[in-house]
Amino acid sequence: MSRLLVVAMLLGGVFAFAGCGLFSSPQNTFAPGGQVAADEKNLFLLTMWPALVIMIGVEFGLVWILWRFRRKKGDSGLPAQTHGNNKLEIAWTVAPIILLALFIAPTVGGIVDLGRTPKNSLEIDVTGQRFLWTFSYPDPKGGPPIQAPPEKSEMHIPLGKTIALKLKAIDVNHSFWVPKLAGKTDAIPGRANHMWLKGDTLGTYEGQCAEFCGTGHGVMRFKVVVETQQDFDAWLKAQAAAQRTDQPALAFQGD
């Protein structure tokens, strides 16, 4: 088994070295484009490294024990019948408690940070329905909400500004997820959920529904365009203008 592990590690090394392409994706949670996704990635790494160390320790320890205490040819006796050791038991109960307790503060801190929407955020109403997302913006001039064109399933946001999302669903559960910008929050019929995110790098990000919602679940995709404030303002203005000529506003039915 130890030989197998060495082979596995070598293979892993080869992949890591030669195949950077194997670890890239437009939805890679390890390549954040915004603060929220970056914080979440760092929290993951905070547990991943100790977990990896423990895993390697346990797996190699296991293989070593098996090798060290294997019954050799010609062995006929029996080993000492040890029944336990209370000090050891206390040690391997308390040590993990201490290690794990260290994770509590960053976890709770992260929950509170992500649960509290920053002030002066741009508020966008997001509605999930089978099988697309619609986005509604407040009119800076105080008029009726401005709809992004639903057929495009595209949300535009200004660079570096915190965005407060109000999530609703009109048919079944959905989950709003832009892996490079932020972890997911569910959109559930009959209630409004809230999350916030921030785009810190210009670009177009891939998003996807993450709660199973039926036959179109796999294609319930959308995009988030992070653009400069000027570009965003221009885009919003254009949507407002288009909406005025397209009256009445699009109303979508669940199927």
Partner 1 sequence: MAGATLTPKRVTMADAVREARGAAGSYKGIWSWIATVDHKRIGIMYGLTSFFFFLVGGLEALLIRVQLARPENAFLSPDQYNRIFTMHGTTMVFLVVMPMSAAFFNLLVPLMIGARDVAFPRMNAFSFWVFLFGGLFMNLSFFTGGNILKGDIGAPDAGWFGYAPLTLNKFSPGNGVNYWLIGLQILGIASLAGGFNFIVTILNMRAPGMSLFRMPLFVWMTLVTSFLLIFAMPVIAVALFELMFDRLFDANFFNAAKGGTPLLWQHMFWLFGHPEVYILILPAMGIVSEVLPTFSRKPLFGYPFVVFSGVAIGFMSWGVWAHHMYTTGLGSVANSAFGISTIMISIPTGVKIFNWMATLWGGSISFKTPLYFAVGFIAMFTIGGLTGVTHSIVPSDYQQQDTYYVVAHFHQVLFGGAIFGLFSGIYYWFPKFTGRMLSEGWGKLHFWLMFIGFNLTFQPMMVLGLLGMPRRIQSYPDGYGWGFWNAMATFGAFTIAVSILVFIYNVIVSMRHGEVAGEDPWDARTLEWTIPSPPPPYNFAEIPQVHALDDFWHRKYAEDPHGMPIPIPVGASAHADSGHGDSHDDGHGIHLPSPSYMPIIAAAGFPLIGLGLIYDAALVAVGAAVMVVGLYLWVLEPATEE
Residue 244, interface with partner 1 (CB under 8 A)? no
**From the list 10, 30, 144, 250, which residue makes contact with partner 1 (rule: CB under 8 A)?**
30
**Three-state DSSP class for residue 119:** coil
Considering the rule CB under 8 A, would residue 87 count as an interface residue with partner 1?
A: no
DSSP-derived 3-state class of residue 132: strand
- 200 neighbors 35 (Cβ within 8 angstroms): yes
Instruction: Kindly state whether residue 153 participates in binding partner 1, applying the rule CB under 8 A.
Output: no
Among 44, 139, 204, 246, binds partner 1 (CB under 8 A): 44
Please identify which residue in 9, 10, 14, 62 interacts with partner 1, judged by CB under 8 A: 62
CA distance 136 to 161: 17
Our finding on whether 81 is near partner 1 (CB under 8 A) is: yes
Candidate residues 17, 190, 245, 251; the one interacting with partner 1 per rule CB under 8 A? 190
Nearest to 148 by CA among 161, 162, 173, 165: 165
Q: For residue 170, which of 133, 196, 206, 137 has the smallest C-alpha distance?
A: 133
Q: Which of 47, 121, 153, 201 binds partner 1 (CB under 8 A)?
A: 47
Minimum CB separation of residue 242 from partner 1 in Å reads 28
Please list every residue from 88 through 127 that binds partner 1, using CB under 8 A. Answer: 88-89, 92-93, 96-97, 100, 103-104, 106-108, 110-116
Concatenated DSSP letters for 183-244?
EEEEE-BTS-EEEEEE--S-EEEEEE--S--STTGGG-EEEEEEE-HHHHHHHHHHHHHHHH
Among 13, 61, 140, 143, binds partner 1 (CB under 8 A): 61
